[in-house]
Amino acid sequence: EIVLTQSPGTLSLSPGERATLSCRASQSVSSSYLAWYQQKPGQAPRLLIYGASSRATGIPDRFSGSGSGTDFTLTISRLEPEDFAVYYCQQYGSSLLFTFGPGTKVDIK
């Protein structure tokens, strides 16, 4: 089973700042099968990025994804007030298994 580790656990930033979130896999993951989600309190997760770098429909271009192999990154170029939330990476791998990372909370400094 592929284990995803996200860092940092919490990122304290101010609106307008750049956020860089990391997702590391215990073994190589196909970029096609790496996605990122945003979750706000009391809400369902929302798809942001799929295929490691493709933005989902309606996602602002301040969100970008990159990476390959075992290291992936979600970048928010300039934080807006509505971007403070928890972010999860998710992969699909061997044994037809889906796993999620533990999440990174982006909160207001």
| Interface contacts to another protein, rule CB under 8 A | 1, 32-33, 35, 37, 43-47, 50-51, 54, 56, 88, 90, 92, 95-103
Q: What angle do CA 68, 88, 2 make, to 5 degrees?
A: 55
Whichever of 67 and 103 has its CB closer to another protein, that residue is: 103
Whichever of 35 and 76 has its CB closer to another protein, that residue is: 35
Whichever of 13 and 47 has its CB closer to another protein, that residue is: 47
| Sign of the CA dihedral running 104, 88, 81, 49 | positive
| Beta strands at 98-100 and 10-13: parallel, antiparallel or unpaired | unpaired
